[in-house]
Structure 1
Amino acid sequence: MKKGIFITFEGPDGSGKTTVSKGVYNKCLEMGIDVIYTREPGGIEIAEEIRKIILDPKNVTMDSKTEALLYAASRRQHLVEKVKPALDEGKIVLCDRFVDSSLAYQGCGRHLGIDEVWSINNFAIEGFMPTKTIYLDISAEEGLKRIESREFKDRLDQETTQFHIDVQQGYKQIVEKFKDRMVIVDASKTVDEVIDEATKRVLEIIHAQG
């Protein structure tokens, strides 16, 4: 049986991860590619329940380390219950966010440290990493502008401007640290252009894995 392919989508808030990843998924389906779509935090029942706690705007007293641990717990369950079984069946898995998000948001946005957050998550994922990551690159200014236009803002959307700037800087470090895995897509273009470019890149990854 052929090996599965795990492709994640990353980028700061406002980069369009969900819209783009779902758009790529739909285009793959139209082409008859055997692909599944999932997200973090979430993707399966237990992880979705954890997601509600993490993102609920009323949970303003949540400690930063508690937040990091909840993300890691959600990630572990999602990985063992959904991602790995699909990959073992040779499927292509597209995932909206994975461990890079924790390194950027909790490691840098919350100032817990990339190495410290990596340690927490490595316990959860046991060194398991994506085949490739589509990184949606956008300036902090443009990303914040897009967040402001949202009708509903979750707990992280409502964070300070400085938090989002710190996350953006964190992602720059992570893209450099894992540059062999990263495929950078300019997310400042129109939605259709970004989806088309991301789809092209995903098809290249699939063909390269052959």
Structure 2
Amino acid sequence: MSGGKFITVEGTEGVGKSTNIAFIQKLIESRGVELVISREPGGTPLAEELREILLNKRDELFDPTAELLTVFAARAQHLNSVILPALAQGKWVLCDRFTDATFAYQGAGRGLSLDVIAGLESIVQQGRQPDMTIFLDIDVRTGLERASARAELDRFESEKIEFFERVRAGYKSRVNSRPEKFLVVDAGKPLEEVQSSILTKFEPLLDRWLAR
């Protein structure tokens, strides 16, 4: 293969991204593929520092535009330091969130201009998009109950339910605009059923990629 594949996993709070990314990782690595696991925001020491700035609660209001620019600053560092070099070496990259999250959280959630986000996307990514995105979908209230039972909530997780309803709608809008790019999985079902669905939907695509 002349280059690696770039796969992202998206979803609102409590969808089980970490658990299911580990499942997808095993599935890919079982085929002998060299895989890099990363996350956004984050993925490099500097980008992880920016992640802490984004997630930590503070008394000062985090201006939405400042938040958006911080997200893309972390993405630029991550993309150029980790993702692109790995893909150029023929490695695959499996990433917990990417720019779809920005359109959902900062766009639909915060109400920022989608055109502005698309402009920043163009500057930072230079056309580089995931080869496939697995969207783990769940009822917002169920997801938040799961998240609150897991650990102390960060700044984003502490938002009101209406914010996450907008975020989920933003994700669904992304899916509807490019259905060929997404594999949609109902993450509200028991874990065994969720992972069975991932296997059923993702394995045929994996087979086609590896056959080329």
> Residue 173 of structure 1 aligns with which residue?
173
> Residue 37 of structure 2 aligns with which residue?
37
Contact 2:33 2:91 in 1 (8 A): no
Provide the C-alpha distance between the structure 1 equivalents of 2:16 and 2:60, rounded to a whole number of angstroms.
25
- Structure 1 position 89, deviation (Å): 1.0
> Residue 62 of structure 2 aligns with which residue?
62
Contact 1:72 1:120 in 2 (8 A): yes
> Residue 90 of structure 2 aligns with which residue?
90
Contact 1:5 1:206 in 2 (8 A): no
- % identical equivalent positions: 37
- Structure 1 position 80, deviation (Å): 0.7
> Residue 182 of structure 1 aligns with which residue?
182
Provide the C-alpha distance between the structure 2 equivalents of 1:38 and 1:195, rounded to a whole number of angstroms.
20
User: What are the equivalent positions in structure 2 for 1:102-181 lying under 5 Å apart?
Assistant: 102-181=102-181
Provide the C-alpha distance between the structure 2 equivalents of 1:39 and 1:48, rounded to a whole number of angstroms.
9
Provide the C-alpha distance between the structure 1 equivalents of 2:55 and 2:12, rounded to a whole number of angstroms.
16
Runs of 4+ in 1 over 4 A off after TM superposition: none
Deviations 1:47-77 (A, max 9, x none): 1111010001226511001111111111111
Any gaps of 5 or more consecutive residues in structure 1?
Answer: none
Contact 1:9 1:135 in 2 (8 A): yes
Contact 1:107 1:116 in 2 (8 A): no
Normalised by the length of structure 2, the TM-score is: 0.91
Tell which deviates more after alignment, 145-154 or 29-38.
Answer: 29-38
> Residue 12 of structure 2 aligns with which residue?
12
Provide the C-alpha distance between the structure 1 equivalents of 2:83 and 2:5, rounded to a whole number of angstroms.
10
Any gaps of 5 or more consecutive residues in structure 2?
Answer: none
Contact 1:43 1:82 in 2 (8 A): yes
Provide the C-alpha distance between the structure 1 equivalents of 2:3 and 2:171, rounded to a whole number of angstroms.
29
Contact 1:60 1:155 in 2 (8 A): no
Normalised by the length of structure 1, the TM-score is: 0.92
Provide the C-alpha distance between the structure 2 equivalents of 1:7 and 1:50, rounded to a whole number of angstroms.
22
Provide the C-alpha distance between the structure 2 equivalents of 1:62 and 1:48, rounded to a whole number of angstroms.
18
Q: Which amino acid aligns with 2:104?
A: A
Provide the C-alpha distance between the structure 1 equivalents of 2:25 and 2:66, rounded to a whole number of angstroms.
32
> Residue 71 of structure 2 aligns with which residue?
71
Q: Which amino acid aligns with 1:29?
A: E
Contact 2:183 2:202 in 1 (8 A): no
- Structure 1 position 30, deviation (Å): 4.4
